[in-house]
Amino acid sequence: MSATILWGKLYAEKLKSEARAKIIELSEKTGIAPGLAVIIVGGNPASQVYVRNKHKTCEEMGINSQIVALAENTGRQELIDNIEKLNNDKGIHGILLQLPLPKGLQKYENEFLYKISPVKDVDGFHPINAGRLSIGEKCMVPCTPLGCIKMMELADIPIEGKKAVIIGRSNIVGKPMANLLLARNATVTVCHSHTADLAKIAAEADILVAAVGRPNFVTADMVKSGAVVIDVGINRIAPKKITGDVDFDNVKEKAGFITPVPGGVGLLTIAMLMHNTVEAAKMQLLP
Ligand SMILES: Nc1nc(=O)c2c([nH]1)NC[C@@H]1CN(c3ccc(C(=O)N[C@@H](CCC(=O)O)C(=O)O)cc3)C=[N+]21
């Protein structure tokens, strides 16, 4: 039996239309459209494509989008000043600092992320939001893991009581994914580069989330028959070609559900950014 392929486009469209309805409702109540600022530092070509896509999606949605493009050699204080200006800008409800930063700024990455006001932190990277997520409080949730959960929910994939295995422990995907699955009563295992018997643990998963950043890392022998396989990997194998972490062609013959790359959860990441921007605007504008 071949897996059902979870195409992201369908789900992303549905989630964007939900966000769109909330934008209309908000503008009827307040006369104000949500505003998102994306800060991009330097000329990383992949980042430029992502930022352009975010901008385009905002325009389709009726979100005011502001791109703050800063030079490769921007200084630490200059970037902080830009973040603070956006924190104080009443027309901006969400702020996203596009990663990765240029080499010279990378060592201050956390300092920059922590300068973003938690209520405008549409990436959910601020420790206040990460902490609130871990204790099950309402917060801004990182877009990629939130998109994975929404996709499973829309596809009627049960989570409660399931064994979930996440490969990767990043603050951006692995850890928030673990918290989101835990909050839905999955039994969660997080694997990483020091995990012994990773293949064996992965093969026990009902839900397997791959967020490692290595092409073909997840092979068919690591997947239980009928499992749900969510591929979060984005590996650039040529200037215009990306692939995931999962050996798609072989794993799809064994899994029950599988997300492709491209065309899978990446599309939901942007949809969730729109969702988070609307939620941030509502929090700031409505009593
Ligand atoms: N502060 C910050 N927040 C982010 O959320 C963030 C970031 N920095 N840096 C880079 C990553 C990457 N990311 C993606 C967004 C959309 C797709 C996406 O739409 N992917 C499509 C098309 C991909 C393509 O063809 O190039 C797909 O998977 O089908 C992928 C990846 C957000 N990121």
For 217-250, the pLDDT digits (tens) are: 999 999 999 999 999 999 999 988 999 999 999 9
pLDDT tens-digit map of 102-155: 999 999 999 999 999 999 999 999 999 999 999 999 999 999 999 999 999 999
Q: Could you tell me if the ipTM is greater than 0.85?
A: yes
Provide the percentage of residues in the chain whose pLDDT is more than 70.
100
Looking at the DSSP assignment, which residues form a beta bridge with residue 228?
207, 257
213: left (phi > 0), else alpha (psi -120 to 50), else beta?
left
| Ligand 1 atom 22: residue of nearest CA | 262
Answer whether 98's CB lies under 8 Å from 38's CB: yes
Report the C-alpha gap between 112 and 106 in whole angstroms: 10
Residue 249: closest CA among 266, 269, 265, 231: 231
Q: What is the pLDDT of residues 147-191, one digit of tens each?
A: 999 999 999 999 999 999 999 999 999 999 999 999 999 999 999
Q: 287 CA distance to ligand 1 centroid (A)?
A: 33
* Residues labelled catalytic: 54, 98, 123
Residues framing ligand 1 (Cβ under 6 A): 50, 53, 96-99, 123, 143, 234, 242, 261-264, 266-267, 269-270
| Interval 15-60: pLDDT, tens | 999 999 999 999 999 999 999 999 999 999 999 999 999 999 999 9
The answer to whether 88 touches 59, Cβ cutoff 8 Å, is no
Instruction: Determine the residue type at 167.
Output: I
Domains and CATH numbers, the chain: 30-117 (3.40.50.10860), 143-266 (3.40.50.720)
Q: Give the closest residue to 98 by CA, choosing from 37, 180, 187, 22.
A: 37
Which residue type, as a one-letter code, is found at position 111?
A: E
Against a cut of 0.95, is the pTM above it? Answer: yes
Confidence of residue 1 (pLDDT cuts 50, 70, 90): confident
Please give the pLDDT value at position 239. 87
